[in-house]
Amino acid sequence: MKDVGRRIATAQGAFLLHPARVGDLLESAGESLFDPDYWRSRALLIPADRGRGAAWFVGSPPQRWVLRHYRRGGAVARVSSDGYAWAGEGRVRSFAEYRLLALLHQRGLPVPAPVGARYRRSGLTYRCDLITQRIEAAQPMSALLLAGALSETTWRAIGAAIASLHRAGADHPDLNAHNVLVGPDGAIRVIDFDRGRLRKPGAWATRNLERLRRSLAKIAVGSALGGVSPEQWAMLKAGYESSSESRAPTR
């Protein structure tokens, strides 16, 4: 795959950076780009809400990025909030997500451009980070849903964006309403592909959609929405199915 990035070994692990996206910062900052304190000292660190992971908006134009530190969830987080069992560099979660995003982005699919990935090993465990391009002025689908600002056009566009990823075989196991971003121009981007992978067609695509539907229902509980209506979900599915059919190979 072209344009994956430049790998640089360190005393504790390694990191990848995309030279064209990092520019002069590759030489002047290097691995420090993954450290929140580096950005904080320059007043270029803004906390971002990204679920259980620690995430920040960092940088300044034209290098405005999202820095995410991987954190664990569930019962295992009580033992280690961010340590993962070492099984070789090929299994490092941030490297895997970086490479998947690089491939999808090269194909023109609706994902953010990857900028860098890092891991730091300590004995039998490692910790890792990822930097991606910030989608300017985009809002999560969840926030727009609560604000009542999801039009039929947007519902359909979201369905079409997901269908394009599924056609490419991109399995997003945590597809939820927080991970779908809507830009001011209506463009859709899907983020947070941790544990994502490329797969042959199968039932996983339906599971992705069901995961999103459960997420939407959960967000609507306790709000003034009264739930996501069958009509709204039908709009999303119409965009999904229309896009899938229009790109289906001819026999």
- Residues with catalytic function: 174
CB atoms within 10 A of CB 183: 14
For residue 123, give every residue at least 6 positions away whose Cβ sits within 8 Å of its Cβ, in sequence order, or none.
Answer: 86
DSSP 201: S
Report the amino acid identity of residue 9. A
Cis, peptide link before residue 230, omega less than 30° from 0: no
Q: Kindly report the CA angle at 113 between 110 and 114, in degrees rounded to 5? A: 130
DSSP 117: E
Both tokens of residue 100?
């998947």
